[in-house]
Amino acid sequence: MSSPQQWSAADVPDQTGRTAVVTGSNTGIGYQAAAELAGHGAHVVLAVRDPARGEAAADRIRADHPGATVSTARLDLASLASVRAAAADLRAAHPRIDLLINNAGVMFTPRQDTADGFEMQFGTNHLGHFALTGLLLDAMLTVPGSRVVTVSSNAHRFKAAIHFDDLQWQRSYSRVGAYGQSKLANLLFTYELQRRLSAADAPTIAVAAHPGASNTELIRNLPAPMRPLAAWTSKLLFQPAEMGALPTLRAATDPAVTGGQYFGPDGWQQQRGHPVPVRSSRQSHDEEIQRRLWAVSEELTGVSYRV
């Protein structure tokens, strides 16, 4: 076992008997987290937009971990109809869910709308996961030790605010600003959900994590002239997805984790390293903003929580 300061995948406890749903898990840190959970005995559901890519990812996990139990579910977080259909299928197949990892996301997309008219980054990264969590929570609230883990980013600090007067960026648009808003929303959601779970004395906890600077496919949405340089920089400076997945895995499995914690790398500026509890921005802890965003999210998605 590694030391607490050097927590690694070797520290993931036995997951036998647990069911884990991981969004965006056919590639990147989502795939790495799903593979580790499956390798440690969990039944892992890869909730992905492209079923063919999901099945290919499941096959890779089974090849690397013979005997692993892996299934797939179609989920497009940019469509509330898809979120509702996926949640219904998941509840029917898995009446008990131990772990929901809200990992999927898009970054720096050009200005475009989801199927429901939401700005793509806010709609996918926050509203899609808000709706999915609310629709699956009943399958978790009776499960001791169940967890909702939502993946945020250091970008929640950069040009980040919840633009309540223009949530969908219709007046003007900034790729970086819209991404920062969505990642700040992930944290505000986590902290408000944890407060509600605690008030209900639920066995479920809400935790957040961020991967630091990780080499994943998220750069695909950068403007075309920037992609070659970004790809070269990522390979040279960023940590591999296996390391980027560790904060998520610790948030999801470490028995010492408590609700409302936030995990990230322990290196310089939380860019690289092993997962430890880290601080998020002061704004992310503003309870008034948390409650206001929650109310707006319920209104926009039509999903209300029992807690």
Q: Is 48 helix (H, G, I), strand (E, B) or coil?
A: strand
For the chain, helix, strand, coil in percent to 5 are: 50, 15, 40
Q: Comparing C-alpha atoms, which of 248, 234, 229 is closest to residue 12?
A: 248
Q: Tell me the Cα Rg of the chain.
A: 18
Contact 216, 229 (CB under 8 A): no
Structure tokens at 63: 């090849």
Plot region of 295 (φ>0 → left; ψ -120 to 50 → alpha; else → beta): alpha
Structure tokens at 137: 């929570």
Q: Comparing C-alpha atoms, which of 32, 37, 39 is closest to residue 20?
A: 37
Contact 280, 296 (CB under 8 A): no
Report the residue count for the chain.
Answer: 307
Active-site residue among 179, 191, 262, 305? 179
Q: Comparing C-alpha atoms, which of 131, 109, 129 is closest to residue 119?
A: 109
- 70-84 residues labelled b (16+ CB within 10 A) or e (exposed): bbbbebbbbbbebbb
Respond yes or no: is residue 305 known to be catalytic: no
Rounded-to-integer distance, Cα 183 and Cα 158, Å:
10
| Active-site amino acid positions | 179
